Amino acid sequence: MRHMPCFLIRVFSLIALFSCVSGGQTPAFAGDAIRINGSGTGLELMKPLIEIYAGAHPGVTFDMQKPLGSSGAIKALIAGALDIAVTSRPLKPDEAARGAKVSTFGKTPLAIVTKKGVPRKNILIGELEAIYSGTTRKWPDGENIRVVLRPLEDIDTKILRGLSPGMDKAVSGAQKRQGMITAVTDTESNEMVARTEGSIGTAGLAGIMAGNISLNILSLNGVMPDPMTLADGSYPLAKDIDFVTTANPPDAAAKFLQFIYSDKGREVVERLGVLLPAAGKARK
């Protein structure tokens, strides 16, 4: 028998949405349980989708613990402890060889964020390089700048390092400095930035919007992070949101993924800062 995690999301509201959500699909049956985990950004995005889907399918429950991150969730999926992993990094060859199968979904901007009250609305790439390198240590009001890093191999770190050669060098140097703040997961990073005076870090836009997280979102070189600027290429930092399952996921999990990829599911996530490919076209 499956062990039921301590954090169990059960939502039985929005029953009236049943007809528009089910859309003729085979109904899910009572007793179905969907075990899902992954990146913090992805899990925040799942919450409104779960609310709608569970309201339309009262027999379905969702088991979703605190985020394991992409790597941890894929490992748990391969071990049989999860049905769906929501990920933000490419699948590794050894993970695919062990039965993991990725379905591409969309992208969300990786935003540069600060604690509310930091007196900035825009930041230039050169300024960001100076902050991460330690050359610039104070905000214009005199408050110390406190950089919230992600682990060296984290996808957010890799995305940020790819912004420019100067940013690659600055982030690499910041990783080696003593006394730096490092947050392991998206959720930890968002919470750390939100409560640390003078902080700056990164956050997936979809996670901020879906979780209604109180952060100051900066424009980068005058360009705000949103799906439109991601689509036209003017905003350079993009974070993938994909789904990883086994080759034959449980029926309940497969039906939930069908809903996410449906017109109704796409409508929900597009309002929350996700850029989706045209229906029926896989992202490259």
For the residues of 167-181, what is the DSSP string, one character each?
A: HHHHHHHHHHSTT-E
What CATH number is given to the structural domain containing 246?
A: 3.40.190.10
- In a domain, residue 236? The reply is no
72-127 confidence digits (pLDDT tens): 999 999 999 999 999 999 999 999 999 999 999 999 999 999 999 999 999 999 99
* pLDDT of 201 above 50: yes
- In a domain, residue 62? The reply is yes
Question: Can you tell me the distance from the alpha carbon of 269 to that of 204, in angstroms, rounded to the nearest whole number?
Answer: 13
Number of domains the chain is built from: 2
Question: Do 247 and 191 share a structural domain?
Answer: no
Question: Do 114 and 96 share a structural domain?
Answer: no
> Which residue did the predictor score with more confidence, 31 or 231?
231
Residue 220 is predicted with a pLDDT of 98
* pLDDT of 279 above 80: no
Residue 278 is predicted with a pLDDT of 79
Question: Do 47 and 62 share a structural domain?
Answer: yes
Residue 23 is predicted with a pLDDT of 40
> pTM for the complete prediction?
0.85
Helices 40-56/263-270 angle, 10° precision: 140
- In a domain, residue 30? The reply is yes
Residue where the block lists tokens 């449906």: 262
Percent of the chain whose predicted confidence (pLDDT) is above 70: 87
Percent of the chain whose predicted confidence (pLDDT) is above 90: 85
Residue where the block lists tokens 């997936």: 204
- In a domain, residue 284? The reply is no
Question: Do 266 and 160 share a structural domain?
Answer: no
- In a domain, residue 185? The reply is yes
- In a domain, residue 277? The reply is no
13-68 confidence digits (pLDDT tens): 322 333 333 344 434 444 568 999 999 999 999 999 999 999 999 889 999 999 99
Residue whose C-alpha is closest to residue 59's, from 269, 221, 255 = 255
Question: Do 35 and 15 share a structural domain?
Answer: yes
Question: Can you tell me the distance from the alpha carbon of 284 to that of 281, in angstroms, rounded to the nearest whole number?
Answer: 9
Residues 6+ apart with CB under 8 A from 49: 259, 260, 265, 268, 269
Question: Do 112 and 92 share a structural domain?
Answer: no
Question: Do 187 and 225 share a structural domain?
Answer: yes
Question: Do 133 and 222 share a structural domain?
Answer: yes
Beta partners for residue 135, in sequence order? none
* pLDDT of 156 above 60: yes
Q: Tokens standing for 42?
A: 């992805």
258-272 confidence digits (pLDDT tens): 999 999 999 999 999
* pLDDT of 2 above 70: no
Question: Do 133 and 80 share a structural domain?
Answer: no
Residue 262 is predicted with a pLDDT of 96
* pLDDT of 246 above 70: yes
Beta partners for residue 33, in sequence order? 61
> Residue 92 belongs to what domain range?
8-106+241-270
Residue 269 is predicted with a pLDDT of 97
Report CA Rg, the chain. Answer: 19
Question: Can you tell me the distance from the alpha carbon of 278 to that of 50, in angstroms, rounded to the nearest whole number?
Answer: 23
| Rounded mean pLDDT, 207-234 | 96
Question: Do 113 and 218 share a structural domain?
Answer: yes
- In a domain, residue 43? The reply is yes
Question: Do 114 and 75 share a structural domain?
Answer: no
Question: Do 168 and 139 share a structural domain?
Answer: yes
Mean pLDDT of the chain: 89
Half-sphere exposure of residue 258: CA atoms within 13 angstroms, side-chain side: 15
Band of pLDDT at residue 281, cut at 50, 70 and 90: low
- In a domain, residue 276? The reply is no
